């Protein structure tokens, strides 16, 4: 039996109103079950990787229905802990993304946000696990949750489990009196695989970025800067062996330009440039990229195949509504061939 991927993070309910008061007139708004790490787990399960999801939920009927929903996606729910009082939620108008100022979080005092060191049995969570994944969103919640993430990453590293992190930066979080660069380095030091972008590496780790590159940079400049960021990261965190950076730029009226890079073993690999005139939903594309990255590295694919899989998975997610992808791997491979 193949060993599992364990994804650890907060489950969130996303409420997506249609603005101009339409949600008031219709007395409704769509609700999506998500969260960055659950989105990763959902994609991996869709692609037939053995995966479990670890989080904290209150012990009530809503949580039980959510757990049934997750289990039906072939995601293991054994590590889910029942504690605390509430499920975190957030509001995001349809068509925007989590970097947009329109996001409204309502997750304070959630079950996950109330976790404290010592509450999780990491030996149990990491049983039969080959890969442990978490993101920079969790340590942004509270200093205690950051310490819990450190516990998990350290326990996984001590067991020889591959550890990955998504450096997703949320400016609207980090409200507990610590700067990200005071917290994140002590987590990244346990990681083997890091995904993010050159700006997130600056915000979360203090790695230098050209403050005007977005004004004058072209693709060559961005890819060169990605390697510069990777070199700085590996010098500072010797355990990190693989660094992926994504580049997503708005194009025209609702379009997207997308590509990504992978730096490993002193070489850079970059994906085909992907362009769409229209997109459906920006939420979850980074999570889908992370899942594609894990998928390729888990199967020990060649670096170029890994980055093409991750980038094309993320690009496909931009054409889907909802938090997690419904693409199968065959669809992603066909897209790679079409753009190859």
The predicted pLDDT at position 86 comes to 97
Q: Residue 215 corresponds to which tokens in the numbers above?
A: 């004004």
Using a pLDDT cut of 90, give the percent of the chain over it: 84
Kindly state the greatest CA–CA separation across the chain: 56
Q: How confident is the model at residue 252 (pLDDT cuts 50, 70, 90)?
A: confident
Q: How many CA atoms lie within 13 A of 162 on its CB side?
A: 17
Residue found under tokens 């729910």: 77
Query: Which of the four pLDDT bands, split at 50, 70 and 90, describes residue 256?
Result: very high
Q: How far apart are CA 340 and CA 328, in angstroms?
A: 19
* Mean pLDDT, residues 228-253: 96
**pLDDT per residue as tens digits for the range 37-56:** 999 999 999 999 999 999 99
Contacts 24+ apart (CB under 8 A), 275-281: 275/251, 276/315, 276/318, 276/319, 277/251, 277/252, 278/254, 279/254, 279/255, 279/318, 279/319, 280/318, 280/319, 280/320, 280/321, 281/94, 281/95, 281/317, 281/318, 281/320, 281/321, 281/322
166, 287 contact by CB (below 8 A): yes
Identify whether the C-beta of residue 276 lies closer than 8 Å to the C-beta of residue 339. Answer: no
Q: How confident is the model at residue 102 (pLDDT cuts 50, 70, 90)?
A: confident
| pLDDT higher than 90, residue 12 | yes
- What rounded mean pLDDT belongs to the chain? 95
User: What is residue 267's predicted lDDT score, i.e. its pLDDT?
Assistant: 98
Q: Which of 108, 98, 99 is nearest to 16 (CA)?
A: 98
User: Computed over its alpha carbons, how large is the radius of gyration of the chain?
Assistant: 19
Instruction: Compute the distance between CA of residue 106 and CA of residue 246 in angstroms, rounded to an integer.
Output: 28
Ordered structural domains, the chain, with CATH: 4-339 (3.40.1190.20)
pLDDT for the residue 172: 86
CA distance 230 to 240: 9
pLDDT at residue 2 in the model:
75
Return the C-alpha torsion angle 225, 192, 323, 94, nearest 10.
-30
Per-residue pLDDT tens over the stretch 210-230: 999 988 889 999 999 999 999
Which H or E run contains 206? Answer: none
What pLDDT was estimated at residue 220? 95
What is the pLDDT averaged over residues 15-21? Answer: 88
Region label for 186, one of left (φ > 0), alpha (ψ between -120 and 50) or beta (otherwise): alpha
- The pLDDT-based confidence of 98 (bands split at 50, 70, 90) is low
pLDDT (average), residues 197-209 = 97
Over residues 157-182, the mean pLDDT reads 96
pLDDT computed for residue 101 by the predictor: 58
* Res 210: pLDDT: 93
The pair of structure tokens assigned to 109 is: 């005092």
* CA atoms within 13 A of residue 241's CA, in its CB half-sphere: 7
Which range has the worst mean pLDDT, 60-64, 66-70, 274-278? 274-278
Neighbours of 83 (CB within 10 A): 15
Residue scoring higher pLDDT (22 or 87): 87
pLDDT given for residue 254 in this prediction? 82
Mean pLDDT for the stretch of residues 306-313: 99
* pLDDT in the model for residue 19: 86
Of residues 106 and 93, more confidently modeled: 106
**Region 223-241 average pLDDT:** 98
CA distance 148 to 144: 6
pLDDT at 339 over 90: no
């Amino acid at each position: 039996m193949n060993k599992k991927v364990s994804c650890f993070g907060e489950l969130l309910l996303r409420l997506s109103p249609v603005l101009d008061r339409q949600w008031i007139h219709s007395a409704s708004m769509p609700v999506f079950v998500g969260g960055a790490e659950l989105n990763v787990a959902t994609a991996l399960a869709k692609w037939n990787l053995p995966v479990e999801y670890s989080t904290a939920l209150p012990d009530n009927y809503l949580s039980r229905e959510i757990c049934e929903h997750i289990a039906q996606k072939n995601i293991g729910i054994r590590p889910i802990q029942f504690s605390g009082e509430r499920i975190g939620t957030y509001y995001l108008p349809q068509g925007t993304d989590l970097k947009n100022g329109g996001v409204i979080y309502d997750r304070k005092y959630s079950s996950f946000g109330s976790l404290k060191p010592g509450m999780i049995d990491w030996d149990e969570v990491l049983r039969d696990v080959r890969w442990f994944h978490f993101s920079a969103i969790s340590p942004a919640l509270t200093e205690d949750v950051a310490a819990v993430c450190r516990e998990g990453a350290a326990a996984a590293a001590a067991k020889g489990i591959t550890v990955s992190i998504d450096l997703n930066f949320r400016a609207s979080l980090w409200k507990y009196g610590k700067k990200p660069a005071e917290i994140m380095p002590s987590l990244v030091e346990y990681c083997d695989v890091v995904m993010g972008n050159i700006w997130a590496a600056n915000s979360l780790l203090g790695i230098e970025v050209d403050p005007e590159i977005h004004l004058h940079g072209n693709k060559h400049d961005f890819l060169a800067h990605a390697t510069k960021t990777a070199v700085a990261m590996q010098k500072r965190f010797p355990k990190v062996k693989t660094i992926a950076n994504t580049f997503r730029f708005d194009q025209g009226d609702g379009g997207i330009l997308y590509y990504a890079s992978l730096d490993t073993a002193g070489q850079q690999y970059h994906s085909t440039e992907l362009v769409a005139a229209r997109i459906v939903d920006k939420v979850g594309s980074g999570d889908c990229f992370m899942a594609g990255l894990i998928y390729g590295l888990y199967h020990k694919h060649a670096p170029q195949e890994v980055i093409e899989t991750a980038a094309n998975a993320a690009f496909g997610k931009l054409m889907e509504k909802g938090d997690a992808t419904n693409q199968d791997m065959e669809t992603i491979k066909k897209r790679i061939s079409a753009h190859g």
